[in-house]
Structure 1
Amino acid sequence: MKRVFYPQSIVVIGVSEKPDNLARNIIANLHAFGYQGDLYAVGQRSGEVHSVPIVTSLDQVPDGLDLAVILTPAAVVPDLVEACGRRSIHRVVVESGGFGEFSDEGRLLEKRLLEVARRWGIHFVGPNCISVVNLEAGVCLPFVSVSPETVRLGPAS
C-alpha cells in the first residue's frame, strides 16, 4: 500500500486538454497539493495539461511507475490495466464507473478487470471510486477539483 499512498511516480490515464475532462482535475489536484514525484499523462490526443505533456500511449512512459490512475470509459479499463501489467505498473486506482454497480454488462467488465489484475499481480482501488488522498505526500487523486484551503487534516476510517 505504500506505493499507493506514497508514490514516487504517477501516470494519469484518460487526460485531455478539453476543459470538461475530469482526469485533468487529477493533474491539477496533484499540483495544488504539492506532489513532488514524477507525473505523466496519457490521453487519446497529445497535448499538455498543467505543464504535463499528454502522450497517446502507455508505451511512452517509463516502466515500473508506482501508480496508475485510470479515468476512462469502463469498456477500455480492463485493456488499460493489462497494459499497466505489461509496463510493470502493479498499483492502479480505477476511478471509472460503469461496472458491477451499473449493469449486467458492467458486471462482466468487472469480472474481466479482476481476471486481468490477478494475472498481472495488480492491486487496485476501485472501480467507481472517488480515489486516494494523502496530504502528507501531496497525493490528491479525486477527479473533482479540490482546493488545499478547504481540506483539513483529521482521522480517517
Structure 2
Amino acid sequence: MSICTRKRDLAYLLFFVTHVPIILLIDTVPLLPTFLQTNLSHNLRAFYITTYHDKFFEDPPTWFTVFIWMELLYHLPLSIWATRGLLKDHPLVPVHLLVFGIQAFITTLTSLVVVWSWTDRSIAEKQQLTMLYAPYLALGGFMALDMVFRLRDKLMPKSKRE
C-alpha cells in the first residue's frame, strides 16, 4: 500500500525526514566531533538560544545531556530507519515507533515540567518554549497509542478482543 494512502504514516514520515536535520544541526551539536560541526549548526543553535532562552541549551543539566545522547544514539538511527521503513510499510514499524513514541513522550513531558519550574524565565518565555516542545509531546503520545492499536490488531484477532 502506498505511503500516500496511509495518512498517519505519511505524517510520521514527514516528521522523521525533518527530525534528522534538527538532530544534527541543532540538538546534538555539542556532542558531535568538531569535524562534524559546521558554521551553520553553530549559527542555528545560537539563534535558537538567543530567541527562545532555553536553559537546556544554554547550560544543560546532566539529565538533559543524557536525553541529547539518546537523541544522537537512538533517535537519529531510528529516524533514518523509520524513513525507509515507513516508505516500504515494513512490518516492524509499529514496534519501533511504539518505543520511539513512548520515549519521546516521556522525555518531552519531563522537559516541560522542568521548564515550568524555572523561576528565572517569564510566563511568556515558558509559553514560547511550550509551543516548541508540545508538538513533540503530542506526536509521541499519539504515535505510541496508534502503534499500540496497530500491534493489538496484528497480534489479537478481533474475536479474542471482545
The alignment's TM-score, normalised by the length of structure 1, stands at 0.28
Larger strand share, 1 or 2: 1
Larger helix share, 1 or 2: 2
